[in-house]
Amino acid sequence: MRFSIVVPMLNEAPGLPRLLAQLCALERQGNQVLIVDGGSGDGSADLAMRAGLRVLSSPPGRVRQMNLGVAHATGDVLLFLHADTLLPEGALITVRRAMQKSGAPWGRFDVVIDGSHFMLRVVARLMNLRSRWTGIATGDQAIFVTREAFDAVGGFPDQPLMEDIELSRRLLQRARPACIGDPVVTSGRRWESRGVWRTVLLMWRLRWAYWRGAPAEQLAQRYR
């Protein structure tokens, strides 16, 4: 089982050193790492290339970037990792064991949100519980999926928001996800910069609207 780790990136220079060190170690273990830059203006791409990692250039947009990465991927299992997120120690060994034990062709990690606001711990716990109950994963949880299953469901849909939700929906028709309790650690800056309560309420509204059939393009405008 060989992994291709796809990392969409846009202006992530301040937090890149720790991520790049982790990715370089994973690449030395025989895994493929593909960083897909969406036009960073802060030197992020140069940092990644100086670290010795392969960097692909893409028009901005997380879906476009991830699907471009997949087009260059050679692994049996794809793992999609946000550029502000770190994997736990031994993550790929854990993924391999979880997939073999459950027989599931896809899954995700629990998540911890790094930040000073006490509500971030609550948000992360609710995200993990909701995901276990519904079988829906978010991009913050480092979704992994076999290449076969990813191709079979058509990959990420070409939409500006909720692409992770839609991919999960399609994969759920094949199997429930393998849920890994060892958490990834993701940055809380999105919540803290916009206001934690405000962001939580906004995301709940957007998810509810999406479940009711609102177009992703319309929701993306509200999110921005």
pLDDT in tens, 25-69: 999 999 999 999 999 999 999 999 999 999 999 999 999 999 999
Evaluated on CA atoms 184, 13, 163, 189, the torsion sign reads: positive
Prediction pTM value: 0.93
Domains of the chain: 3-185 (3.90.550.10)
Alpha carbon of 50 to those of 38, 40, 82, 148: distances in Å? Answer: 18, 15, 20, 32
**pLDDT at residue 219 is higher than 80:** no
Work out the average pLDDT over 148-161: 94
Strands 77-80 vs 144-146: parallel, antiparallel or unpaired:
antiparallel
